[in-house]
Amino acid sequence: MALKLSDLRTEVHQDWCPGCGDFGILASAQMALKELDIPQERVALFSGIGCHGKIHHFINVSGAHTLHGRALPYALGTKLANPNLEVLCFGGDGDGLGIGVGHFVHAGRRNIDMTYAIHDNGVYGLTKGQASPTLGLDLQTKSLPEPNINNNVNPVALALASGVTFIARSYAFDTRHLADTLKKAVLHKGFAVVIILQPCPTYNDIETRAWYSGEDRRNPETKRPMPRVYKLESEGYDPLVKDGMTEKERFAKMSQALEKAQEWGDEIPIGVFYQDLSTSSYADRILHRIPSYLTASPATQAIAVDGGRPAADLARIYDGLAV
Amino acid sequence: MKDESFSWVIGGPQGSGVDSSANIFARACAHGGLWVFGKREYHSNIMGLHSYFQVRVSEKELRSPVDRVDLLATFEEETLVRHAAEVVAGGGILYDPAKAAKPIEEIETWHGFAKEHVLERLKGEGLELTVAGVLKEAEKRGVKLFPVPYTDLVNQLSAHYPEKQLSKLTRVVNVVAVAASLALVKFDRAPLDDAVRAIFGRKPEIAEINVFVADRTYEYATQHYPGGLGRTLTTRASPRRLFLMGNQAVALGKLLGGCRMQTYYPITPASDESEFLEAHEVFDAVPAAKLPDGKGSILVVQTEDEIAAITMATGAALAGTRAATSTSGPGFSLMCEGLGYAGINEIPVVVTLYQRAGPSTGMPTRHEQGDLRFAMHTGQGEFPRILLASGDMEECIYDAARCMDYAERYQLPVIHLVDKGLANSNSLVPIPDPSRIRIERGGLVQSLPATDPPYKRFAFTEDGLSPRAPFGVKGALMWNTGDEHNEFGHIDEDPENRVKMMEKRHGKVLLAAKQIPREEKVNVFGPPDAAATIVSWGSTKGAILDAMASLAEEGVRLNFLQIRMVLPFPDDVVRDVLSKAKRRISVEMNYSSQMAGVLSERTHLSMDTEIVKFNGRPMTHNELHDALKRAAAPGAPQRMVLTNGS
């Protein structure tokens, strides 16, 4: 029986602020899961600490609302242990690009087949609005005593430099686009990163929903707002690195993505920036060492027989150590 | 102290092959049916600084090092000068005569008090401040000198193997030292070849070169020193045993205990265990396990830091894997938060903590038992854990397996405390007996009937244990969170729920305390009516048992309570043993007698004497023999600090 949206909802009260981008992200995630129609028990969902972290409690699948900055290694551990699970991980911009940024970089190197979505609103919401690593230099959002003294990290560029094989960006209030982007990310065979631009109605009074939709810059003729966000796919942008491409062709795709990642302000691209289908996944690499990895994974192989005797028979290891 | 064992020391700059030569020596003795105990001392350095290896050999079981050296094998200056004074009268020194003229001041890799002491001594005796002066001093004390012309022997070899580069062959000086040593104690030739071939099994060509060198060296030594050292080592029959290092023992225990994912970040002295596991990532499985091609496997993941190591292992455990990580103090410090998460979410994960000398970076390659309190209290707030401390190699195997089992049975993090002393020692262990290992998966739910009420991962039950489903079981949806939570795993700060959850989690430890048999918690050795009772934990066990045996020969009767399970603390049995003690003596490798403090908290009993050592070198048989003898007598000091070791 096909999955219904209602199957993916829990009864837990959603305690985000009214107008929070997290509502759009939650709806999109549920849409994506429904449309992918993966049995609920096959999904494992992770989140970190911050406003975003509660998303797991609102989605009716198993998983873990983890520690600040550490959602990724928990998620990776689950995926490595049972490669047949579909693993989705949510993180915040402070959570995933501040305290947990090291894990982000190393996840790129491994290319484990899972999805990592970062809620990016430029502030630490749950601790009342401090600057997050993605807030631009000199910006002074509502609760900052002084303008931001740090430059911002560019998550798309960082993902590219870290070897991430699927890099996309979407917008919390374009739920259709976000759901489709999440689906593409899930279907990608490798580590997929989705940066989700998200207004914080309480603490980010600069990059607001109105700002993203261009309320402040109306078309002089139609008087309609001109949204800042535009879709890469509508421009015919091709992010794909296909099998068999030369290194030079791959570098060209990277340069193109890096260039697009610099656009901000009046023109903010969303969509898939880069997708590399030619790099081996971590599971492929493990299979070279452990041929039974997918059929007898760490989580699913028998470890005991006959009521508790070890399944391991180490006689041949002992031969090398015995005197 | 009466001691019939033979103590052999080899030393040299790190990276020069000292380890493998010590291994060859020890394995040769073991192949010859003797008991061996090997101890490795080294600096945090890859090339050039001094390291040495002591191999103690006996016909009787050995469990600890001694300070005395019977035969010192050297091929360069520093080892000779550092260790010559440890050689007993009647013992011997093997050395390269070409190095005798070297002034001690010019040994650039050696600084500190020990060097100054040697220079002062030589000055006092009016001897030359050179290697030759040190040799002279030793000779005056009755030490026999055995010059070995290493260069000549190696040159002979290069004539025999003209196609080999001499630079590669210089490493064979190690085998020269080993073979000459064994020739001097008239040891059979065959076990040496067995050892060489076992160690260079993957490189038969190198093995044959080494066998050839050993032949020539035996010939040389027999010809030039027909009387030998004046002591002999005789081969004998013995059952087949494993020649193990502590970190290999832990690895074997993990494989047997069902560990199927290990994460780690490189750190001394823990990483060797993970590397051993990775080298054996695919292993045979018993046919009844019906695994593909009859193979089991363990996935070893090198992570970006120890935070990722503990969290990734925990993620694997959530998926139903028996997972572990191994680290040492600095890495364990980073794991605090992750450990608490496993605690509040009742996730079975095992941390093997190889203690080394702290604080901070401390002395990274030196020994200490300084992390007892740290491991007992790691993390904010209060959560249940099981903490096990192994005392020797054999315990390392079975305890490592048990840790995997306790974690799943009681759904909590388990810390396995070992230390550098164990990790880097060699000894002989009976082949593990799988029937001594039981794997019980602690109510792991693999399927749920469709009609059941909604699954509650943290359901309140009588004994505190809830049905634990891994991710992936149909109908068993669950939420984990570092926040206090309700039975489903959703955030809940209701005061009543909080009390019930705290009681539930901590109740599991009471259950563990009740269910785990006494023999897994403590060992008691020695006669009940002993003059004094020793209390200790961890790898001091070896030196204590050896000292008890040698003291018994002098009529000093002691008994020994070894605490293996630190948490839950075995209050009753400890109180029972200690309240009957005539005198109480604690023995620990740390500054502040951490276990003695814990004992006093738990039982309100204090120690008559606390023996401690914190200079980074494991306790030796003889120093503990002397210290215990003194501590067992009336009027002993309240605190005794041991300082032996180089």
Which residues from chain A sit within 8 angstroms of residue B428, using beta carbons?
323
CATH (domain of A246): 3.40.50.970
Q: What is the pLDDT of residue B38?
A: 95
Domain assignment present for residue A298? The answer is no
Which residues from chain B sit within 8 angstroms of residue A39, using beta carbons?
474
Residues B61, B67, B68, B74: what is their CA dihedral angle, to the nearest 10 degrees?
Answer: 100
Among chain B residues, the shortest Cα distance to A104 is held by B304
Query: CA triplet B249, B253, B259: central angle to 5 degrees?
Result: 130
Residues A36 and A61: beta-carbon distance below 8 Å: no
CB–CB contact B316 A80 (8 Å): yes
CB–CB contact A301 B428 (8 Å): no
Mean pLDDT of A291-297: 98
Domain assignment present for residue A71? The answer is yes
Residues B536 and B586: beta-carbon distance below 8 Å: yes
Domain assignment present for residue A295? The answer is no
Q: What is the pLDDT of residue B164?
A: 67
Domain total for chain A? 1
Which residues from chain A sit within 8 angstroms of residue B256, using beta carbons?
310, 312, 314
Cis peptide before B330 (omega within 30 of 0): no
Q: What is the pLDDT of residue A14?
A: 97
Domain assignment present for residue A271? The answer is yes
Name the residue facing A81 among B257, B316, B401 (closest C-beta).
B316
Q: What is the pLDDT of residue A310?
A: 98
| Low-confidence stretches of chain B (pLDDT beneath 70) | 163-168, 451
Residue A12 to chain B, least CA–CA distance (Å):
8
Element (H, E) at B143: none
Is the Cβ of A1 closer than 8 Å to some Cβ of chain B? no
Is the Cβ of A15 closer than 8 Å to some Cβ of chain B? no
Rounded-to-integer distance, Cα B104 and Cα B127, Å:
12
Pairing mode, if any, of strands A166-171 and A191-197? parallel
Domain assignment present for residue A99? The answer is yes
Q: What is the pLDDT of residue A199?
A: 97
Instruction: Domains for chain B: give ranges and CATH numbers.
Output: 6-224 (3.40.920.10), 244-436 (3.40.50.970), 443-516 (no CATH), 519-642 (3.40.50.920)
Domain assignment present for residue A82? The answer is yes
Residue A36 to chain B, least CA–CA distance (Å):
17
A225 pairs with which residues across the strands? A218
Q: What is the pLDDT of residues A190-232, one digit of tens each?
A: 999 999 999 999 999 999 999 999 999 999 999 999 999 999 9
Q: What is the pLDDT of residues A131-163, one digit of tens each?
A: 999 999 999 999 999 999 999 999 999 999 999
Q: Which ipTM was obtained for this model?
A: 0.98
Domain assignment present for residue A57? The answer is yes
A residues 51-110 closer than 8 Å to B (CB)? 54, 56-57, 60-67, 70, 73-82, 84-85, 102-103, 105-106
Q: How buried is A123 (Cβ within 10 angstroms: 0-12 exposed, 13-18 middle, 19+ buried)?
A: buried
Is the Cβ of A296 closer than 8 Å to some Cβ of chain B? yes
Q: Which of A74, A79, A85, A286 to mutate to test the interface with B (most CBs of B within 10 A)?
A: A74
CB–CB contact B311 A302 (8 Å): no
Is the Cβ of A318 closer than 8 Å to some Cβ of chain B? yes
Inter-chain Cβ pairs, chain A and chain B, closer than 8 A: 268
Q: What is the pLDDT of residues A46-64, one digit of tens each?
A: 999 999 999 999 999 999 9
Domain assignment present for residue A316? The answer is no
Rounded-to-integer distance, Cα A305 and Cα B288, Å:
6
B132 pairs with which residues across the strands? none
Instruction: Provide the residue range defining the domain that includes A222.
Output: 5-286
End-to-end CA distance of chain B: 20
CB–CB contact A304 B439 (8 Å): yes
Rounded-to-integer distance, Cα B183 and Cα B179, Å:
6
